[in-house]
Amino acid sequence: MKKAFVAIAVSTSLFVLSACGNNSDTVVESSAGNVTKEELYTAMKTSKVGGSDTLKLLVTEKVLDKKYDVTDAEIDEEIKKVKEQTGEKFDMALKQAGLKDEAALKKFLNGQLLIQKAIEESLTEEELNTPKVKVSHILIQTEGKDAAAAEAKAKEIKAKVDAGEDFATLAKEHSEDDGTKEKGGDVGTIVPGQMVPEFEAAALKLKTGEVSDLVKSKFGYHIIKATERTEYSELSEAEQKAAKEQAMQVKYSNGAAEKIIQKELDDAKVEVKDDDFKDLFKAPEEAEKK
């Protein structure tokens, strides 16, 4: 549902669990505050999503609210983005997201922005200060082939590159990546998390004009050339913001975000009083043991 609803999709992917309830007035206790049955019921009426999804979001919001601040201005800005992107379909978009009205969206976005701030704080200098590197490559595949012969061919091509032969021409002649060979091997700018780890690690180390040694991945042998490199400090403010967003997205996609939030919940000593939700706040690997 476009970028403004990415947080909603993230929440759903993080907390897809089942629902129910019992007669206890307090459903969950934590050092950040308790959630009562009445509070859960009220939240479910406004969000129109399952009890366990709503409960986990309620508790997560209470826990994160103790550490992070979300301003009304930040929420209003997100609302504005949603309205700009959905236009006349705003109300329909809310219904599709399981939200009753704009007030429910504001409440939901408050929780999502708290999660976002927790993920953002976890970013390391290395994750943030990623350079912008544009690369080309030559791929010699290994799947279904004699691995030694593929390696020998890759070494032969690398020798030609080292001898000064034109990289783009060699890519068109020898690369087995049909998506890039006709473009002289042009891959474009490396986006963290979108390439296989071996390729990404090697590419991000290269200076402009530099060529890697052979890089082995599940696809085969790569010869990578950096055609343009811009250090993080040289990026525009907008590019740095985009780089931060991309670094956070990597954490969402590789499961690191879920572990960060789980640690916040563990640190808050969440205690479930309702048996129907007894495994809700356990790490996935713990729940699987039950």
Residue whose C-alpha is closest to residue 61's, from 11, 111, 112: 111
Under DSSP, the state recorded for 225 is E
CATH code 3.10.50.40 region(s) in the chain? 132-230
Whole-number Å distance between alpha carbons of 178 and 159? 22
165's torsion region: left (phi>0), alpha (psi -120 to 50) or beta?
beta
Question: Quick count: other Cβ atoms within 10 Å of Cβ 177?
Answer: 19
| The most confident of 5-14, 59-68, 179-188, 267-276, by mean pLDDT | 179-188
Question: Quick count: other Cβ atoms within 10 Å of Cβ 194?
Answer: 12
Q: What is the pLDDT of residues 224-265, one digit of tens each?
A: 999 999 999 999 999 999 989 889 988 988 889 989 988 988
What's the mean per-residue pLDDT of the chain? 82
User: Cα separations (Å) of 207 from 126, 136, 161, 204?
Assistant: 17, 13, 16, 8
Indicate the CATH number for domain 3-124+238-289: 1.10.4030
CATH code 1.10.4030 region(s) in the chain? 3-124+238-289
The mean pLDDT of 278-282, rounded to a whole number, is 69
From first CA to last CA, the distance across the chain in angstroms is 36
What confidence category does residue 62 fall into, taking pLDDT thresholds of 50, 70 and 90? confident
Asked if CATH classification 3.10.50.40 holds for the domain at 132-230, the reply, yes or no, is: yes
Cβ contact 148:156 at 8 Å: no
